[in-house]
């Protein structure tokens, strides 16, 4: 190494004063390694440089993973807050009709869905006056409809929560919104011993909002709270 410095005094002093700044700068270190390789000639392989490149690649992957984990954690926290707010709103209702209005109003807004419908199975042909008044929110269907709709007639036991993209949905579930629904969440409700099952469907215009690959824990919790509330109102 030459004892005759080729750097300007100010730059040389800055490097000597803060050598860590050089070591922490990947671009500078890469340039230094490349300069060193050129000095050694083309017939010599610098294993330290190869190892450094591999370590940099691993570090980049770890940083990407770290960012993805942080983003997923924030998204999960936001989803948890949404579900908690929706549940608290439902628990404030003083009447069954208020519950139904909140479902299609504030609860739908909190959960950021475009349509919410409560589906109840009944063997009776006639409907109660309260159901008639809530026809846009509450739909009464024949026994067996819920399991068939969840499984799409493919057989097998219906899951508690089903998330899926959809192309066509029945008007009886979403009314005027049916042609705009691109994905949906189906929450099967256990309304208690001796009662036919219920179903809470949430529809979205966004085809990516409800995807089979998404987690269902939060919606399962929401459905569990809602079905217990329904047992109270139906008792």
Query: How far apart are alpha carbons 96 and 104 in whole angstroms?
Result: 13
pLDDT digits (tens, 9 = 90+) for 134-179: 557 888 889 999 999 999 867 678 899 999 999 888 888 888 888 8
176-192: average pLDDT: 92
91 and 46 in one domain?
no
Q: Which two tokens stand for residue 184?
A: 């949906």
Residues 6+ apart with CB under 8 A from 130: 96, 97
Measured between alpha carbons, how far is residue 138 from residues 5, 115, 129 in Å?
84, 12, 12
85 and 57 in one domain?
no
- pLDDT band, residue 3 (cuts 50/70/90): low
99 and 168 in one domain?
yes
163 and 51 in one domain?
no
Q: Which two tokens stand for residue 20?
A: 């860590």
SS3 breakdown of the chain: % helix, strand, coil, rounded to 5? 55, 15, 30
Instruction: Indicate whether 213 pLDDT > 60.
Output: yes
Range of the domain at 57: 9-63
60-66: average pLDDT: 79
126 and 59 in one domain?
no
β 138-141/115-121 pair status: parallel
Q: How many domains does the chain have?
A: 2
216 and 106 in one domain?
yes
| Among 190, 212, 210, CA closest to 202 | 210
The answer to whether residue 193 sits within a structural domain is: yes
For residue 82, with 0-12 CB atoms within 10 Å meaning exposed, 13-18 middle and 19 or more buried, which class applies?
middle
pLDDT > 70: what percent of the chain?
Answer: 80
The answer to whether residue 111 sits within a structural domain is: yes
130 and 31 in one domain?
no
Region for 158 from its dihedrals, namely left if φ exceeds 0, alpha if ψ lies in -120 to 50, beta otherwise: beta
- pLDDT band, residue 197 (cuts 50/70/90): very high
166 and 86 in one domain?
yes
Mean pLDDT of the chain: 81
Measured between alpha carbons, how far is residue 151 from residues 60, 122, 154 in Å?
43, 19, 6
Measured between alpha carbons, how far is residue 26 from residues 39, 60, 89, 98, 101 in Å?
20, 11, 52, 61, 58
144 and 50 in one domain?
no
The answer to whether residue 74 sits within a structural domain is: no
pLDDT digits (tens, 9 = 90+) for 10-57: 877 777 787 777 777 777 777 776 766 666 655 555 666 667 677 777
169 and 117 in one domain?
yes
- pLDDT band, residue 70 (cuts 50/70/90): confident
207 and 174 in one domain?
yes
Query: How far apart are alpha carbons 225 and 175 in whole angstroms?
Result: 26
Q: Is the pTM of this model over 0.85?
A: no
Q: What is the pLDDT of residue 112?
A: 92
The answer to whether residue 2 sits within a structural domain is: no
Instruction: Indicate whether 71 pLDDT > 70.
Output: no
Query: How far apart are alpha carbons 214 and 113 in whole angstroms?
Result: 16
Query: How far apart are alpha carbons 160 and 186 in whole angstroms?
Result: 8
């Amino acid at each position: 190494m030459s004892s005759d410095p080729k750097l300007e005094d100010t730059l040389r002093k800055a490097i000597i004063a803060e050598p860590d700044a050089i070591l922490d700068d990947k671009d500078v270190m890469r340039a230094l390694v490349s300069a060193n390789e050129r000095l050694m000639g083309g017939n010599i392989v610098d294993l330290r440089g190869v190892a450094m490149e591999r370590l940099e690649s691993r570090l980049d992957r770890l940083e990407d993973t770290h960012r993805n984990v942080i983003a997923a954690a924030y998204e999960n926290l936001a989803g948890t807050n949404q579900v908690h707010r929706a549940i608290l709103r439902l628990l404030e209702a003083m009447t069954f009709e208020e519950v139904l209005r909140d479902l299609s109003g504030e609860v739908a807004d909190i959960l950021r869905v475009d349509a919410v419908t409560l589906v109840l199975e009944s063997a009776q042909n006639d409907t109660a006056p309260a159901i008639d008044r809530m026809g846009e929110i509450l739909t009464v269907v024949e026994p067996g409809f819920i399991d068939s709709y969840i499984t799409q007639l493919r057989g097998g036991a219906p899951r508690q929560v089903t998330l899926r993209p959809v192309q066509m949905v029945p008007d009886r579930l979403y009314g005027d919104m049916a042609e705009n629904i691109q994905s949906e969440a189906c929450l099967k409700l256990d309304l208690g011993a001796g009662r036919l099952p219920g179903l809470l469907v949430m529809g979205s215009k966004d085809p990516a909002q409800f995807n089979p690959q998404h987690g269902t824990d939060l919606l399962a919790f929401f459905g569990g709270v809602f079905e217990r509330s329904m047992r109270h109102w139906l008792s």
